[in-house]
Amino acid sequence: MKVYCVRLSGPTGESLTDSRWLTLGKEYVVISINVPPGGRQPMLQILADDRAPSWWPAADFLTVSTVIPSNWVAKIGEDGEVDLAPESWLKPGFWDAYSDRDKNAISEFDRQLGVMMASED
Amino acid sequence: MNDLRNRGVRDILIACCDGLAGFEDAITAAYRREHRWRDRPVVNGVTKIGTAFTLWEQKQCSGGARTGMPFCWTQTDEQQFNVGTVCTGGARTGMPHCYPASDFLTPDQGANVFLTIMLTLGSAGLSALLGPAAAAGGMAPEAVTAGGGADNVVNGTRLAQQLARESAQSAFTSSGELQPSVIAESRLITQGAKLGNTDLVKHLTSDGSNIADWGKYTTPTFQSPMGDFQVHFYMNSLTGEVDYGYDYKFVLNERG
């Protein structure tokens, strides 16, 4: 799934005119989707300009490619939270380990990302 | 450690690690010194080291097993290293300990000081560590512009280190917190609801807030003498509150 950036937001939701992570009009690969409970805004996890994964409001993007990666699963969590992502990425602690540069987590991230990129080809 | 030595690191001032097996031996082997190690938790270690920086110089040790050493400190206060004015114990027989000054470099020799800080960043932050070191670093502008030939190579290295320190310092306030401008340029890397550490979740939501409003963020990359790094921190996106009390740390970027 690919999107392009139509708006730039800061970490607390403020509008920005430029960003060191994203570029207006540029296409990005969506690597997972999260719809939080309680009316919070849907979020996209994308590979930003530095190719590192991070979360951004879905409202900041429009769809380019509607292809759903073959390795995504749909999970309904507490209070109706919805996740679309590789199953291994949804395990508790996975992203803690990834951000702490755990080799196993990085390896699993790369493996699943490879599947997604193949889906886009 | 040998690689660091080959790259010109003359000595190590302080190595602060989380019990990494073999690290002490590796340093001793590379630098052939009898370094002494404190067997103590490193939580808030950076804070203590930062305090020590300001206190080490020109203190005299008046007694104890290592009488005559230029300085010593005691560890009577859990919150900081107190430079000792009285040294009554043996070097290995309990506090206070004395340390030979020749085992260390003081901040005014900063160009050759290498600091390695792993994992835990105390709430006083990196600036507490880098601030005094840079301020007393002795890297005056004339040192950068003077000389020729090989001197210019050395001075170029010093300038690079100075710039790296300034880059690192620019991320932090004097109290070690992140500059508001740095927070504004940070991005969400883990949603609060996906945090796996239950103790952390309890800590963040102890004020009644919803964990879904929290997240783990990373700053942009900054340079430091230790290498490029980012700071990871937790923030409530609803209120803008940043939590500096738990797992506030900097992470060296991968190399190569």
Residue with the larger pLDDT of the pair B125 and B249: B249
Supply the Cα-derived Rg of chain A in whole angstroms: 14
Collapsing DSSP to helix, strand or coil, A71 comes out as coil
* Together in a domain, B142 and B93: no
> Is the full-model pTM beyond 0.90?
no
User: pLDDT tier at B223 (50, 70, 90 boundaries)?
Assistant: confident
Q: Which of residues 186-205 of B touch A (CB under 8 A)?
A: 186-191, 193-197
Does the pLDDT of residue A48 top 50, yes or no? Answer: yes
8 Å CB contact between B204 and B211: yes
- Average pLDDT of span B92-110: 34
Does the pLDDT of residue B94 top 90, yes or no? Answer: no
* Together in a domain, B79 and B119: no
Which residues sit opposite A88 in a β-bridge? Answer: none
Residue with the larger pLDDT of the pair B236 and B11: B236
Q: Which domain holds residue B193?
A: 180-252
User: pLDDT tier at A70 (50, 70, 90 boundaries)?
Assistant: very high
Domain count, chain B: 3
Q: Which domain holds residue A94?
A: 2-120
Does the pLDDT of residue B23 top 90, yes or no? Answer: no
Does the pLDDT of residue B121 top 80, yes or no? Answer: no
Residue with the larger pLDDT of the pair A109 and B157: A109
A120 sits in which H/E element: helix A103-120
Does the pLDDT of residue A44 top 60, yes or no? Answer: yes
* Together in a domain, B147 and B201: no
Which residues in chain B touch residue A90, judged by CB atoms under 8 angstroms apart? 194
Distance from CA of B22 to the nearest CA of A (A): 20
8 Å CB contact between B184 and B141: no
Does the pLDDT of residue A98 top 50, yes or no? Answer: yes
Residues 6+ apart with CB under 8 A from A36: A42, A43, A81, B191, B193, B212
* Together in a domain, B11 and B110: yes
User: pLDDT tier at B109 (50, 70, 90 boundaries)?
Assistant: very low
* Together in a domain, B227 and B141: no
CB contact under 8 A, B187 and A21: yes
- Average pLDDT of span B177-201: 92
Give the residue from B207, B230, B208, B204 showing the smallest Cα distance to B219.
B230
| Pairwise CA distance, residues A55 & A62, whole Å | 15
Does the pLDDT of residue B235 top 70, yes or no? Answer: yes
Domain count, chain A: 1
